[in-house]
């Protein structure tokens, strides 16, 4: 059995490691000329980390990331709503990690090269077409010079992100991703650490929001953390045309993010977010977008995985996490050794409904709905959140989401 994977992101590379661990031959094709540390911060949930732990990656993740200790929801003006322990601090067997997205990809990529060999990930190979012959798959990849390379395997997995070529070949009329009118300005810079140096803050609802969390420590920078921040602002609605194509590398001036923070009157007592934004060298802007669910991911010997299958709004930390869970399910089914077409169909049956529910929940804010709920009840603020909402009401919103996403802690 040989599996061809188009896309060397977190999803495709994790699948490669898992298939290799099950004795299945695998080859990854990545369109970029090299795997570089792109992106800013990302959170990876405990059930997905449990999978990476099984692959032996925990020590390396601990070296480059931070075990998220607490997630604190606040109003946009910094009033506390509810705080939740995360990962092992909530009683789960595995940690949650706050990590630079590029470092997460690097850790998995290095493990693939180490275990599968230096040729296992071929870069500068963009999938341009494929043919399911009934007994196998032939895939054509192209490099920057326009040269084409034909590869054959038993199965092809499209792990090629939100602009998946594989997906668009099955669904040529799907159109662009749908935008909810929210833009996100994102950056990371070294900054004096706030709270315990391992906590995450989400402040503000769906109109204006601030997200803050540390993603790395450095022994040479005591008392500081590489601090990831996101400022979100709703600039339109579902009918507003996308301002530009979704591109995780699009840069923006600091003034734009500062203007949005001011418009939303965003502030928290833990740190001066305006100073943090001004100190950030590279600021990226990205539209919050997803795609509608599909009637099928698997077609014969070809399937989709990760963002190619279920791009979702980045609330609730599920983007990379669900790609890793997809990989586990698919690897297990292919390892059973039966008909690969049946394995791909069973994977589709299991993972498509589970992830569709998260895509849907994220459209109404996911766990962060708790902030809108409180801001609606008390638009002018409060002395104590329990004057306006019960602990059960607050816990129900965040706890329901955790159950849906499959990582509810014992106390939820």
Ligand X SMILES: Cc1cc2nc3c(=O)[nH]c(=O)nc-3n(C[C@H](O)[C@H](O)[C@H](O)COP(=O)(O)OP(=O)(O)OC[C@H]3O[C@@H](n4cnc5c(N)ncnc54)[C@H](O)[C@@H]3O)c2cc1C
Binding site for ligand X (CB under 6 A): 6-12, 29-32, 38-40, 42, 101, 126-127, 159-161, 165, 248-249, 306-307, 314, 319-320, 323
CB of 289 to ligand X, least distance (A): 11
Q: Which is nearer to ligand X, 210 or 389 (CB)?
A: 210
How far is Cα 28 from Cα 31, in angstroms, rounded to an integer?
10
How far is Cα 144 from Cα 219, in angstroms, rounded to an integer?
40
Say how many Å lie between the first and final Cα of the chain, rounded: 42
CB of 105 to ligand X, least distance (A): 7
Measured from the Cβ of residue 54, the count of other Cβ atoms closer than 10 Å reads 14
How far is Cα 184 from Cα 49, in angstroms, rounded to an integer?
26
Q: Which is nearer to ligand X, 32 or 77 (CB)?
A: 32
How far is Cα 397 from Cα 381, in angstroms, rounded to an integer?
20
Beta-sheet strand order (sheet of 148-153):
126-132, 137-142, 148-153
Q: Which is nearer to ligand X, 90 or 164 (CB)?
A: 164
How far is Cα 83 from Cα 87, in angstroms, rounded to an integer?
13
Q: Which is nearer to ligand X, 97 or 373 (CB)?
A: 97
CB of 33 to ligand X, least distance (A): 10
Beta bridge partners, 299, equal 302
Q: Which is nearer to ligand X, 172 or 223 (CB)?
A: 172
CB of 277 to ligand X, least distance (A): 16
CB of 228 to ligand X, least distance (A): 8
Please, is 47 exposed, middle or buried when counting C-beta atoms within 10 Å of its C-beta (0-12, 13-18, 19+)?
buried
Let me know: does 411 contact 383? Beta carbons within 8 Å.
Answer: no
Q: Which is nearer to ligand X, 244 or 265 (CB)?
A: 244
How far is Cα 297 from Cα 144, in angstroms, rounded to an integer?
28
CB of 31 to ligand X, least distance (A): 4
């Amino acid at each position: 059995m040989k599996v061809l994977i188009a896309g060397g992101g977190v999803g495709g590379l994790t699948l490669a490691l898992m298939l290799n661990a099950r004795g299945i031959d695998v080859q990854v094709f990545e369109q970029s000329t090299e795997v570089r540390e792109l992106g800013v911060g990302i959170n990876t949930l405990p059930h997905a980390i449990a999978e990476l732990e099984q692959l032996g990656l925990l020590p390396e993740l601990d070296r480059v990331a931070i075990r998220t200790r607490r997630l604190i929801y606040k109003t946009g003006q910094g009033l506390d709503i509810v705080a939740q322990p995360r990962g092992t601090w909530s009683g789960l067997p595995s940690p949650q990690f706050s990590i630079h997205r590029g470092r997460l990809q690097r850790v998995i990529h290095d493990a693939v090269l180490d275990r599968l060999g230096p040729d296992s990930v071929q870069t500068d190979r963009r999938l341009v077409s494929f043919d399911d012959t009934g007994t196998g798959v032939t895939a054509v990849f192209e490099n920057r010079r326009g040269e084409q390379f034909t590869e054959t395997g038993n199965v092809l997995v499209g792990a090629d992100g939100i602009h998946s070529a594989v997906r668009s070949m099955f669904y040529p009329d799907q159109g662009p991703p749908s935008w909810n009118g929210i833009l996100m300005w994102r950056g990371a810079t070294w900054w004096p650490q706030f709270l315990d140096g391992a906590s995450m803050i989400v402040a503000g609802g769906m109109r204006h929001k601030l997200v803050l969390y540390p993603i790395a420590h450095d022994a040479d920078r005591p008392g500081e953390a590489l601090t990831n921040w996101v400022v979100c602002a709703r600039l339109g609605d579902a009918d507003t045309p996308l301002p530009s194509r979704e591109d995780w590398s699009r840069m923006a001036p600091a003034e734009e993010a500062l203007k949005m923070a001011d418009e939303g009157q965003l502030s928290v007592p833990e740190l001066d977010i305006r100073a943090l934004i001004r100190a950030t060298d590279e600021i990226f802007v990205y539209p919050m977008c997803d795609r509608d669910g599909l009637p099928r991911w698997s077609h014969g010997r070809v399937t989709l995985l990760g963002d190619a299958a279920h791009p979702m709004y980045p609330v609730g930390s599920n983007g990379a996490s669900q790609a890793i869970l997809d990989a586990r399910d698919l690897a297990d089914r292919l390892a059973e050794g039966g008909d690969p077409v049946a394995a791909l169909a069973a994977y589709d049956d299991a993972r498509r409904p589970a992830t569709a529910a998260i895509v849907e929940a994220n459209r109404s804010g996911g766990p962060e709905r708790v902030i809108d709920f409180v801001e609606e009840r008390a638009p002018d603020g409060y002395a104590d959140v329990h004057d306006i909402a019960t602990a059960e009401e607050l816990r129900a919103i965040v706890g329901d989401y955790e159950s849906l996403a499959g990582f509810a802690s014992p106390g939820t």
